[in-house]
Amino acid sequence: QVQLVESGGGLVKPGGSLRLSCAASGFTFSYHYMSWIRQTPGKGLEWVSYISSGSSTVYYADSVKGRFTISRDNAKNSLYLQMNSLRAEDTAVYYCARNYASSMLIFDYWGQGTLVTVSS
């Protein structure tokens, strides 16, 4: 069965960096576009970033553009999110999600999420 397992979350100071990982199994990872989505109690769900199957196309939400970098390693069935210059408003649960077919905005499987807390 499809499994997505995020890791790398934690407590970081404002201005700091963190790298999230997502280990995928149960499907052909290299065929699927992948995304990161975050959720905060106050603002609900927010799409963060998307990467095509071969990494040729990436998109970012305006709120993270220039600070976050999405990447993937198809040989390792892994998705990553490098987060730099972190701000308090980046505090959220970060989900790794599989994109349905070649869609950009349909997420048919999600991981359990990893909590990122940005605080001094």
Partner 1 sequence: QSALTQPASVSGSPGQSITISCTGTSSDVGSYNLVSWYQQHPGTAPKLMIYDVSKRPSGVSDRFSGSKSGNTASLTISGLQADDEADYYCCSYAGISALGVFGTGTKVTVL
Q: Got the DSSP string for 25-60? A: ESS-GGGS-EEEEEEETTTEEEEEEEE-TTSS-EEE
Phi-psi region of 55 (alpha: psi -120 to 50; beta: other; left: phi over 0): left
**CB of 13: closest distance to partner 1 in angstroms?**
28
Count how many residues are written for the chain: 120
Q: Which region, judged by CB under 8 A, interacts with partner 1, from 24-32, 66-74, 75-83, 111-119?
A: 111-119
The 3-state DSSP class for residue 95 equals: strand
Name the amino acid, one letter, at 117. T
Residues of this chain, 8-37, that bind partner 1 according to CB under 8 A: none
State which of residues 29, 86, 95, 118 lies at the interface with partner 1 (CB under 8 A): 95
Q: Is 43 in the site for partner 1 (CB under 8 A)?
A: yes
Q: Which is nearer to partner 1, 16 or 71 (CB)?
A: 71
* 22 touches 116 (CB < 8 A): no
**CB of 105: closest distance to partner 1 in angstroms?**
4
Q: Is 108 in the site for partner 1 (CB under 8 A)?
A: yes
Q: Is 103 in the site for partner 1 (CB under 8 A)?
A: yes
Q: Is 106 in the site for partner 1 (CB under 8 A)?
A: yes
Closest CA to 8 of 49, 47, 36: 36
> Binding residues for partner 1, per CB under 8 A?
43-47, 50, 59, 61-62, 95, 100, 103-108, 110-113
